[in-house]
Structure 1
């Protein structure tokens, strides 16, 4: 346990409780980093204390403003970390009495509720996806009911919360965002084509996802199952699956079972600086998920001007604007997945925007770019924190 002190001045104080932002880059971590950046752009003169449960250090090259202190608890053994982190956030909160606590994971709201009971400090939390759709622990539900605001990353997640009895005025939507400057429309990279043994004319389907046993809902296995049917119409199609995780052995077995070794590449982990080139390598991005709270990868693919396919049962509905910006399919219907991908690759999908890269990029930046994210967050805080 410790902190990296960048600079401390006596301003009003905002606490942020995140799982981590420096040593792992999942959806919650990316959202948390953008949330901190947006807050600091809106309120550069207040003091920030950022508590990170799983990080062991804070990056000295981080772009966050100087009046920010990072407290890390990742050096504690995993069996003691939750207790250590809870002690840290409640203890510091009781001592410093910040103006507001914002947590980016629902599980942290139990500690926030306790702190509010002790001190009256208000708290907000972020609801991302499946962890918010069917809340069972009574302690967590009480903590959420007493949150001053719940920021849902999609209308889908908000609707799932309202069905559980939460106050409509309490639950606001703050969608995911992305870094549009990092993602550009480009021609297919000759370096990547050579790396994967592909040619520029070859139709390529791409998925970028963590290959986790707990996230099989992302649907990359459904694309594998659909590939034999797709190959009957498009024999030279190739599927590029970017990501790694503990579900890879199951995927390798499925590839072998379906005899797809010659048309599937498991690319493994790809560094951030290569992601744009990978998106630009494909002719369609596809992730027929049924458990996404939102899905930042859809925004990234659209920012590269790529036709995009997703499932119609989760937060993908928000990311693809209910089908305005992409194709939505039943994620359990392999036939529908295959036929829709064939349509897209053959240029026959009925939504013409899928074939207008610049317009796709423009639309996704207008709807979900960082400027929009920051403006929405500012509008929520404007009347709540007029004194900051």
Structure 2
């Protein structure tokens, strides 16, 4: 099943008849003072919102960001309120009071809650005022049974947005949600930032990758995130090296699990093949992706924006086979999906990729598919469709 690019032509006449501004409210935990998949997703929402050319106006409440943060989205269409404090309790109380006063005075048409942990607060304030709200979900945070207060807030929401079919399926099953209530707004990739290109000679020399086959992963190396599969890929390296003796594995990311991973590589005799690059700024990621002959992350993801980033750079990808990565990989049409804790399956797939005979190794085709299905334009169309459907709903 493919994720379609939504066509919004049928809404064109309707949107032209919006005589006055539609007032929205967005509520997020933190967007600008932390980097991560959720933060990138929210910034794409802001970017798309500003490009909609519709009579939409939103006020954005940010629990843990401060006014000093760099925010390129402040505009006539997006106004931001910051509540970061040294006291978590104080910042939450301040935001709750400000949000309540805003809802009472302005009566926005819709409120968008950016995380399930904020859903009870948003639901508590919106429900008595008859203001509909939508809750955004992203992945693992809704894969397990939620506390009663959060579950109730989700069940009473006008809509729930999520990034993948898998997350919709699991969240509905374990939290008794109506699947018809859950709408898909998948992650996006910026095709201008992530582009194909030649391997950087400077980076090849920096990491000792000259004349090698390069596997790569971009992931947090936290002990609580072993599901990312870096350890499984390390376990697969001896088999891969039997076929490709020049193979090396570049791991980008940082965290407290790195010593364990480094020891695992040493114990398996592949310590010299694993390079821990540490943290790489977002603006340097594309140049690093271009070093890879294969992007390998046999993980369990809510979606997996990194797969899109790699494909946009023309790099073939490998993911797990029981998670939200089914959407960016289009159920295997655009990449290899393997059992996420199976080193043998990872090794076999990596060997196929490095041989380069499979059509899924065609970098230009991969990029075209990724941008067509999940580029910023496609994301903007989906967002517009969702927002107009809410305006048009009873």
TM exceeding 0.5: yes
Secondary structure of residue in 2 paired with 1:230: helix
**Aligned 8 A contact 2:162 2:185 in 1:** yes
1:366 aligns with 2:385: no
> Cα distance, 1:44 vs. partner?
5.2
SS at match of 2:272: coil
Partner secondary structure for residue 180 of structure 2:
coil
Match of 1:264 among 254, 267, 274: 274
Q: Which deviates the most, 89-98 or 309-318?
A: 89-98
Name 1:333's counterpart in structure 2. 342
Q: Deviations over 1:333-386 (max 9, x none)?
A: 1111111111211224xx41x221111101011111111111112112223214
Q: Distance in 1 between matches of 2:46 and 2:68?
A: 14
Distance apart, 1:91 and its partner CA: 4.1
SS in 2 for 1:305: coil
Q: Relative to 1, partners in 2 of residues 1:20 and 1:247: Cα closer, same or farther, differing over 3 Å?
A: same
| Structure 1 residues 244 and 94: alpha-carbon distance in aligned structure 2, compared to 1, 3 A threshold | farther
* RMSD of aligned residue pairs (Cα, Å): 2.0
Verify: 1:375 aligned to 2:369, yes or no: no
The Cα of 1:80 is off from its aligned counterpart by 4.4
Choose the corresponding residue for 1:385, options 384, 387, 391.
391
Contact 2:251 2:275 in 1 (8 A): yes
Q: Is 1:118 the equivalent of 2:128? A: yes
Give the secondary structure class of the aligned counterpart of 2:189. coil
What whole-Å deviation, never above 9, does each CA across 1:303-328 have from its counterpart, x for those lacking one?
01111000001001111010000000
Contact 2:109 2:132 in 1 (8 A): yes
Deviations 1:268-305 (A, max 9, x none): 11112211110000100010002x10010000000011
Structure 1 runs not aligned, ≥5 long: 1-9
- 1:169 alignment partner in structure 2: 180
Alignment of 1:310 onto 2:316: no
| 1:323 and 2:332 aligned | yes
How many residue pairs align between the two structures? 373
1:182 is aligned, of 193, 196, 205, to: 193
Taking the aligned partners of 2:67 and 2:295, their CA distance within structure 1 comes to 34
Could you tell me the TM-score, scaled by structure 1's length?
0.91
TM-score (norm 2): 0.89
Moved more, 22-31 or 11-20: 11-20
Flag the 1:118–1:53 CA change in 2: closer, same or farther, 3 A: same
Q: Distance in 2 between matches of 1:23 and 1:156?
A: 29
- Contact 1:37 1:64 (8 Å CA) reproduced: no
Measure how far apart 1:124 and its partner are. 0.6
* Change in CA separation of 1:254 and 1:53 when aligned onto 2, cut-off 3 Å: farther
Match of 2:264 in 1: 254
Change (3 A) 1:79 1:254: farther
8 Å CA contact 1:241–1:266 kept in 2: the answer is yes
The structure-2 alpha-carbon separation of the partners of 1:252 and 1:363, relative to structure 1 and needing over 3 Å to count, comes to same
Aligned-pair CA distance for 1:83? 4.1
SS at match of 1:265: strand
Cα deviation digits, residues 141-162 of structure 1 (max 9, x gap): 1100011011110011111133
Equivalent residue number for residue 30 of structure 1:
40
Work out whether residues 46 and 73 of structure 2, in 8 Å CA contact, stay in contact via their aligned partners in 1.
no
SS at match of 1:48: strand
Aligned partners of 1:258 and 1:194: how far apart in 2? 25
Q: Match for residue 208 of structure 2?
A: 197
Asked which structure has the greater RCO (Cα within 8 Å, sep 6+), the reply is 2
Structure 1 position 197, deviation (Å) = 1.8
Give the structure 1 partner of residue 248 of structure 2: 238
Aligned equivalents of 1:224, 1:358: Cα separation in 2? 28
Cα distance in 2, alignment partners of residues 260 and 181 from structure 1: 36
| Residue pair 1:299, 1:319 contacting (<8 A) in 2 also | yes
1:7 matched to which residue of 2? none
Matched, 1:278 2:278: no
Cα deviation digits, residues 136-188 of structure 1 (max 9, x gap):
31111110001101111001111113324322221111111021100111010
Tell whether the 8 Å contact from 2:302 to 2:325 is kept in structure 1 after alignment: yes
- Tell me how far apart the structure 2 counterparts of residues 100 and 306 of structure 1 sit (CA, whole Å): 40
